[in-house]
């Protein structure tokens, strides 16, 4: 997974517009929509996405540099979304939408937790988008991937699987090479085994949070994107993340 993927068809991206040649910041929300998220958790997530989208639109700096893609793993298997629409697997279109044009999907919760495959797809679309931007002569900041789950990786039958181990050395190489920054967040009643998986995926940026603080989580991603734009050092990202983990949104001050 360390090699870059070929770009998707740029012609399919022609209706997406940015002002000038702003440097891009690809951001992937890799979201658990399995059956354990049904009820208040998925509704809380949907509400937070709507509020976050409004805040993105109002943020002049982020709205014309951040590009948002959503990947879900649940009742539809693993799916990439282009704004509110799920993409057909293999569709020759980028799921990334400029923040100022982004509209969130309305998510439902069902099915199993294909976390490994969802993270692989997230890495794939990031690499493809970077190749697209390079082909267009455009620069980009380090992409961000935010994995959010309340469970553990399963196979297609819903049984626990250890296949996620294959991702650990790949993720370590990708992050050490600064190809993207991965946040791995456990919410709700995630188990000790689930925490172990997240620590292995993102040794520096993993957290287990009580409840479902999706609004705060998304605000943290915006703060991280803003720091990336300013060329902040690693210590700034660690501080932002620490503030999120302790539920103190001090980045707003």
Residue 253: is its pLDDT beyond 70? no
pLDDT value of residue 20:
52
Banded pLDDT at 90 (limits 50, 70, 90): confident
pLDDT value of residue 89:
85
Region 62-86: what's the mean pLDDT? 95
pLDDT digits (tens, 9 = 90+) for 156-204: 999 999 999 999 999 999 999 999 999 999 999 899 999 999 999 999 9
pLDDT digits (tens, 9 = 90+) for 34-70: 999 999 999 999 999 999 999 999 999 899 899 999 9
From 82, 90, 98, select the one nearest 124 (Cα to Cα).
90
DSSP H helices, 21-147, are 40-58, 60-63, 115-135
| φ, ψ (nearest 5 deg) of residue 49 | -65, -40
- Quote the tokens at residue 42: 């998925």
pLDDT value of residue 123:
97
Q: Which distant-in-sequence residues (6+ apart) come within 8 Å of 202 by Cβ?
A: 147, 171, 175, 182, 183, 184
Residue 80: is its pLDDT beyond 90? yes
- Quote the tokens at residue 12: 């399919």
Q: Which residue has the tokens 């939408």?
A: 97
* C-beta separation of 119 from 148 below 8 A: no
Residue 221: is its pLDDT beyond 70? yes
The maximal CA–CA distance of the chain, rounded, in angstroms, is 49
Residue 248: is its pLDDT beyond 80? no
What residues are paired with 66 via a beta bridge?
Answer: 25
What residues are paired with 206 via a beta bridge?
Answer: 184
Phi-psi region of 98 (alpha: psi -120 to 50; beta: other; left: phi over 0): beta
pLDDT value of residue 6:
31
pLDDT value of residue 167:
97
pLDDT digits (tens, 9 = 90+) for 115-170: 999 999 999 999 999 999 999 999 999 999 999 999 999 999 999 999 999 999 99
CA distance 30 to 167: 15
């Amino acid at each position: 997974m360390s090699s870059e993927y070929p770009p998707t068809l740029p012609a399919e991206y022609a209706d997406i517009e940015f002002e000038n040649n702003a440097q891009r910041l690809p951001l992937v929300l890799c979201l658990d929509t399995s059956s354990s998220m049904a009820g208040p958790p998925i509704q809380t997530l949907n509400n937070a996405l709507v509020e976050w989208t409004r805040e993105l639109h109002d943020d002049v700096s982020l709205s014309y540099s951040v590009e948002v893609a959503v990947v879900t793993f649940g009742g539809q298997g693993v799916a990439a979304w282009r704004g509110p629409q799920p993409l057909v697997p293999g569709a020759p279109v980028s799921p990334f939408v400029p923040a100022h044009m982004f509209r969130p999907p309305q998510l439902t919760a069902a099915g199993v937790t294909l976390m490994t495959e969802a993270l692989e797809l997230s890495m794939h679309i990031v690499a493809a988008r970077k190749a697209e931007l390079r082909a267009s002569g455009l620069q980009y900041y380090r992409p961000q991937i935010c994995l959010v789950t309340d469970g553990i990786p399963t196979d297609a039958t819903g049984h626990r699987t250890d296949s996620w181990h294959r991702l650990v050395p790949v993720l370590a190489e990708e992050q050490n090479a600064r190809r993207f920054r991965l946040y791995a967040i456990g919410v709700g009643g995630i188990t000790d085994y689930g925490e172990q998986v997240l620590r292995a995926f993102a040794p520096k940026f993993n957290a287990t949070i009580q409840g479902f603080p999706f609004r705060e989580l998304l605000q943290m991603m915006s703060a991280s994107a803003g720091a990336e734009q300013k060329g902040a050092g690693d210590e700034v990202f660690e501080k932002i993340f620490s503030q999120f983990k302790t539920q103190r949104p001090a980045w707003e001050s």
